[in-house]
Structure 1
Amino acid sequence: MSIRRRLAVEIFTGIVLAAMASGPSWAQGTAAKPSSREEVQQALQTREQYDVHGLRFAADKSTLEPGSEALLDDIATALKNFPDWHLRIVGHTDATGSAEANVRLSLERADTIKAALVKRGIAPDRLMVEGAGQSRPVASNDTEEGKALNRRVELVRIADSPEAKKLLKAMSDYLAAQKALSFAYDANLQVVTNTDQKLGLASSGTVVLSRPDKVRATRSGGFVDTEALFDGKTLTLLGKNVNKYTQIETPGTVDQLIDELKDKQGLPLPGADLLMTNAYDELMEGVYDSKDLGSGVINGHECDSLAFRKDDVDFQIWVAQGEQPYPCRLVITSSQVMGEPEYSIQIRDWKSGDGVVTDDFAFKNATNAEKIDVKDLKQNISELPGHFIVGDEK
């Protein structure tokens, strides 16, 4: 087995270490405090989740109570034995008090743990902190026992793969260098019903891009049949299924158009982040975990499989190997939405340079479509049909 493939296998054993701030264990409830540093290290290496007793905070405070020193020593020793490990320290609270105050308190507790480990010789850049407040309970806040379970500090072992970042950057640089590109795609938007049934809405389409300021995108599915054209000055959105269109004056580049559609109109282009000249920066914003999963095959092409995590989403991308490192598949999972729905886009028929057939990207209105206001057309070109309702966060 190659070194790279062996590393790809090893990273699948992500380590989650849960340390209770007070009260009994919230997971299996059977693990006692490790009696030796070796046992702490073994737990970090081999168990997906491990509850460590002994890290306790004073009520409504971020000050560690006495008795935590030995446990912190053990954790620091394990980190020193494995210098490639990185930890994400996440503070949690119960629902007592305001949500805003609990976010501050949970972050302060995470900072306390980080400072204690840094004091013990762990480099600060190996430790990340987050305050989740009361947003991710593991038990009911209606009882004192449940509240105690929710007051916790979680240490998550994370990966920071230079190779994954390098491969993603190479893809971004390649895309930015293409003056013209085109591809077809198949997309699937997964939704979760109020009975926890996962359903997929499938669509297909095409994208033709001519930098810096022209793009044509189509999308056709069971609920929608649309076309978007941009000629550097005017964006035209055509609902083919209703034979209506709207136009928005928005002169600028394709990058500026993507921001306009996403931030102001709520109508992102398919795989929009991949089309931007700074795709790497857009994709990597907020990423705290990166993995190189080795190789995979998409549409007969061998690809590098890369996985990344943010606070609100996970995304996995397959990048074609060879001289044209284009994206073959992208899967985005909403980790903070009930049911963890996902959106995937699989790319085929990739072309670039002279292989791309372009035109003037002007709207011809060959079907005598009726012009209407953009807000009236949105309901006819949305990814979701009207009777679907966006779900709650976790």
Structure 2
Amino acid sequence: MNTIKRYGFVAGSALLLAALPLTSQAAKQAASAAAAAPAAVDAGAVAALERMGAALRALKQFTLVSDATTEVVLDSGQKIELDSRVNYQVQPPRHLFVDMDSARTHRQLFYDGKTMTLYSPRLKYYASVDDVDATLSELAGKLWTEYGIDLPLADLFQWGSATPPHNVLTSAVHVGTASVDGAAVDQYAFRQPDVDWQLWIGQDDHLPRRIVIISQDDAALPAYTARLKWDVRAPINQASFTFTPPQGAARIGILVVDAVAMQPGEK
């Protein structure tokens, strides 16, 4: 699983606005940070990722809302922006519900530790896989490699796992301090092959509050931005993780990865 590489993040089209213009003060902070850190990978920035991973691993449960914008490049070279919202309910290490909604597609993913179900509320089709028996990190990889489904914000599960992928980084720098939705954060910029990405990490809880991902393997440099809102205290109903077919819903097979193809205009 390539960490951060798959910047779309909405199942089937994947579960990830260019970065906001830097103020003059932020630009000075970025330049100062770059000058003060001649090494390509700053140890402090990597340590911030490790603290974020530890904070994610410490969560007993959480709900998460991600409001995201994905840039899509047309054949003409023009960029358009597609908005989406993802709602997560999670109880690590093996319970997950994801609602992925946009103007074009609506998908829900249920996982109760054994059975994974992907459901389309608009089409009323669902596909289930039994005996998955995987942690959330393992599930994210399995969905991508076996079924071509990119779990929204899947990389959070990788950084929150016991073996975060530090070795992929070619550059890491602390840009400076900022505020996201009223919370004090530290902004970091990272690079790995073909991808630039930024994280705004809460100073108090070390949870990611904003993420920007730019694909470098496309000359148009399409970007993905997501703003993350966490709730680690709200109770979660256990029934949320188990799919119960609504009246009129029909079960279909799930395609293996080499057969997956999204049809134009699919809802």
SS of the residue 1:374 aligns to:
coil
Q: CA RMSD in A?
A: 2.6
Of 252, 255, 261, which aligns to 2:143? Answer: 261
Rounded Cα–Cα distance in structure 2 between residues aligned with 1:307 and 1:315: 6
Cα pair 2:94 2:112 within 8 Å, conserved: yes
Matched, 1:219 2:100: yes
Of 227, 248, 253, which aligns to 1:368? Answer: 248
Provide closer, same or farther for how the CA distance between residues 367 and 304 of structure 1 changes in structure 2, counting only shifts above 3 A.
farther
Deviations 1:313-333 (A, max 9, x none): 1111111111x1111111111
Deviations 1:127-150 (A, max 9, x none): xxxxxxxxxxxxxxxxxxxxxxxx
Of 233, 236, 239, which aligns to 1:357? Answer: 236
Structure 1: tracts of 5 or more residues without a match: 14-81, 87-158, 389-394
Cα pair 2:200 2:210 within 8 Å, conserved: yes
The aligned runs of 1:40-189 (5 Å cut-off) are 85-86=38-39, 159-189=40-70
Structure showing the higher helix proportion among its residues: 1
Rounded Cα–Cα distance in structure 2 between residues aligned with 1:233 and 1:268: 19
Shift of 1:339: 0.6
Deviations 1:71-129 (A, max 9, x none): xxxxxxxxxxx9x634xxxxxxxxxxxxxxxxxxxxxxxxxxxxxxxxxxxxxxxxxxx
Cα pair 1:290 1:309 within 8 Å, conserved: yes
Cα pair 2:52 2:208 within 8 Å, conserved: yes
Shift of 1:239: 0.8
Shift of 1:366: 2.0
Question: If you compute each CA radius of gyration, which structure gives the higher value, 1 or 2?
Answer: 1
Cα pair 1:306 1:317 within 8 Å, conserved: yes
Shift of 1:6: 6.8
Cα pair 1:271 1:345 within 8 Å, conserved: no
TM-score, length basis structure 2: 0.80
Identity %, equivalent residues: 25
Cα pair 1:208 1:358 within 8 Å, conserved: no
Provide closer, same or farther for how the CA distance between residues 279 and 207 of structure 1 changes in structure 2, counting only shifts above 3 A.
farther
Shift of 1:173: 0.4
TM-score, length basis structure 1: 0.55
Structure 2: tracts of 5 or more residues without a match: 1-26
Which deviates the most, 205-214 or 249-258? Answer: 249-258
Shift of 1:387: 7.0
Of 276, 298, 309, which aligns to 2:191? Answer: 309
Provide closer, same or farther for how the CA distance between residues 233 and 307 of structure 1 changes in structure 2, counting only shifts above 3 A.
same
1:240 maps to which residue? 121
2:168 maps to which residue? 286
What letter is aligned with 1:10? S
